[in-house]
Structure 1
Amino acid sequence: MGFVSSLGIKSPSVRATNMPSPPLLLRLYCNKTRLLIGIALLFVSLHVFFGYSIFNLIPWNTSATLDHSNAIPEFLPWVPTRSQADLRIAKATILHDNRKYDTRNLALDDLHTQNFGYTSHILQTPIVRGALNKFLYLQSLIITELQKPVEEQKEWILYHDPAVFIANPHIPLHHFLPPITDVETFKTLSIIATKSESEELNTTVFFVRVSGGSLRILTEAMEMIYNVPDNGDEDEEFGVAATVLQTILSRPHHLEKVIYQSSEWYNSTSSLFYQPYYRTLAHRLLPVHYTQIIPGDNEGSNPMFPDADTVHRFWHVVREARRVLNEAKEKGHTSEQGEWWEMVAEVKEWVEGRAWDTEELERRVRVLREGLGID
């Protein structure tokens, strides 16, 4: 026992003698519990206090917090909604020294440019000879735009031959373009043009998007023109340009990049442009009154042709046709396979080559939608 005591180790009997009594243990336990509870309450109070302070510092939108569908996270940049009139558009044409143009038509063209704040590009000295000139010029304009900051780039360029007359300078160009609110459906669209009654592409007036896809189309067209012999016939240049571009746009990888609108939208005394028929090059040099049109006759009434409902219906039908074709593809029906392959092929051909006939396109889309049970 002495040996154990000398080591500072108490025997069991000694420890039992020095242990506190049961009431003392109970008091110690209660005091320790109160201390732990107090610390916990202190942490909770601090958490609530700082949370409430931060909550008051943030400018919360009450309606947004109640309706989570409208809530916008603070870390996302604010993007204002753009209207159709916000589309950035430029105009381009090519003048040749050996041509004469009516001064009133040029004045109306300038008035149209000023009315809507467009940028106007006029090439007065040909870059090269022949039909290649038009595509090379448009390519140079697109490349120039793509080098600018995105927010400063033009989005579309309207090309028109100088022999095309301005009939109504009060019709905005964005009137003809796809809805700015439906970017996804028409994001691959590069060319908006018209066809003649014989379904030949008209390149006297057409829209081209400022994009890499448009550059590819123009590059392929120029490559094809290089293989076409140039006989110096200026009238033939217009035909060559239209034939080559139509051939390029008919390639499978470009079919969804072009939309054909009604030729009446761009060729009547009520529309923005009037395109008189020239039988020969000599007729292109005649003054305006020989073409039996007085540009700007409807300047007082300023009618919108086509009207807004017609344009909206056009884009709605095209959008619906593309949606139904995508739904049909998901169900296993394409222009090459599936029970409804023939109807799919018809709708696809119509939307890619004859979209201007909205009534017929709408009818075919309706038959395909009902046949496949597409909502």
Structure 2
Amino acid sequence: MHDIRFIRENPAAFDAALARRGLPPLSADILALDEKSRALKTELQQGQARRNEASKAIGQAMAAKDMAKAEALKAEVAALKEGTPALEAEEAEVGAALNAMLAAIPNLPADDVPQGADEAGNVELSRWGNIRAFDFAAQDHADFGPALGLDFEGGAALSGARFTALRGQMARLHRALAQYMLDTQSGTNGYEETNPPLLVRDEALFGTGQLPKFAEDLFRTTDGRWLIPTAEVSLTNLVAEQIVPTDALPVRLTALTPCFRSEAGSAGRDTRGFIRQHQFEKVELVAICAPEESDAEHERMVQAAEGILQALNLPYRKMLLCSGDMGFGARKTYDLEVWLPSQATYREISSVSNCGDFQARRMNARYKPEGEKATRFLHTLNGSGLAVGRTLVAVLENYQQADGSVIVPEVLAPYMGGITKLEPR
């Protein structure tokens, strides 16, 4: 959500920031609704004040035996009272239209975000790790994975396309990855392990920006709740409608949860394999902090995600997303892209975003700086640390052997119960 005061005071700057997102100027339309809303509020307040004044004057007129004046005042009060509901309804309608317009506009990009229309404008910042030189033709995980326990047919038979069952040693490796990530983020990196609800109300998805714009990408239950597309929704909303004590900041949370996405906007993309599923697991990282801490917190979070890839010895690159490729709620985003040998390219495995106060305004999440009477909105950040399924794909492809087996990364040994290699069945 955007600060209407900022738009009033800086309409040109607001429109310039929208232009970097590829959007037309909107400040004039917003300010027209804002002016109308404020005028209606003023009219209602003045009407109420006059009603109170006239009501008091009725008693005075009657005490003075001036019945004509009293009757005239009564007629005025009745007219004001009669017109109030219509004014209130109009003010509510205009206010709702203004809020809907503000809620539909994405976050403004930070000053250091590169200009660009799409992913072609993203900037590569660094690379890590050595790309393995195979002495055989590297295969796609979708081709050799079924012999190791990736049951695409079983999952599809149960639930349809983009659902997969993991069996035996494959399920064990997937669990090992998830546990290692969660242990590292909660233990080494200081994020508080959390087990949040997977079903949330409309307000939670509105707070983090998925509603109303991205409803088609979500799954809704028959009782009106929504399955979370990411634990970001549950974790960030734990501070909704709260004033967080300053000494509790920053709040750092992590959770391993299933995530559910309809993938409505990705028809035809990654239809083979385990990369793009309707149901997947992810270790999410969320930070809630004071505004002056958010830039440093952003760098800290992306390092926490990078550490998992480095420990698994998976080659990756770090990208700074351009203004046209960032998510709806982000003001600045780093993507980590892992190397997939079968595609001979890097693919996204983590997206780490600083949302500034955009989500906090929607959630009304605030803090009170020391020595100040007024509250301020918090800053929120989120990122994957990591997406478990995509990490599984990266491990399978980068550690594959000519005989169809897969070596288990050493860092996962404590979680694998003595299994050091996945063998074809």
TM-score (norm 2): 0.21
RCO comparison, higher one (Cα < 8 Å, 6+): 2
Larger Rg: 1
Structure richer in helix, relative to its length: 1
TM-score (norm 1): 0.24
